Amino acid sequence: MSQPDPLRRPDVPGRPRFEFRQRPSEVVARRARSVDVAAALWTAAAVLGLVAALVMLLDLDGTQAAVRAIVDRDFPNETSVTRDRAVALAAAVIVGGVFVIALAMGLGAVAMRGGRGGARFVLLMLLALTLVEILLGVGVVAPLALVLLVVAATLGVAGAVAMYLPGSNRWFATRRR
């Protein structure tokens, strides 16, 4: 006895049966909820970073005075022009760095929510830079700005965990059109 041909449809004799299915990598997947949570956490961290930069900018004289005290104490043999340049540069790095990092964090959150997997790595690097800014700001910037940066970093850590959960990883692994 002969076996039935699997390509032939039983309801239509003589006609081959074809099934067209999309490959799993072409299926448009719904964004995982953990990606939305991660994006919200990163966005909140970016907003807090911008507020911290604004607080630092409003207290720029205090920041410069604190930096000047450190520079004058550690470099007494330098000329006053060199110390002034060092104070201006250090204050610009601290205040401007927080602003740039917070802005990039917000853009990274938007890119990550849009499905850019590389944005996750960039956000982790920005988190590391935020931690460096916190260390630079200890004893130099206003306490409110420092607290805002610590809370922003904490939200960034929570966002980092959420963006690497299994559901997020599956969503980033699928191809989207």
The pLDDT tens digits for 86-140 are 999 999 999 999 999 999 999 999 999 998 989 999 999 999 999 999 999 998 9
Q: 1 lies in a domain?
A: no
Q: pLDDT tens digits, residue range 19-32?
A: 666 555 555 568 88
Q: 82 lies in a domain?
A: yes
Q: 5 lies in a domain?
A: no
Verdict on whether the full-model pTM lies above 0.85: no
Q: Alpha helix (H) ranges present in the chain?
A: 33-58, 60-74, 80-113, 118-137, 143-163, 166-173
| Structural domain of 44 | 33-174
Q: 2 lies in a domain?
A: no
Number of structural domains (the chain) is: 1
Q: 62 lies in a domain?
A: yes
* CB of 110 closer than 8 Å to CB of 88: no
Q: 17 lies in a domain?
A: no
Alpha-carbon distance 99 to 76, whole Å?
31
SS3 44: helix
Q: 107 lies in a domain?
A: yes
Q: 21 lies in a domain?
A: no
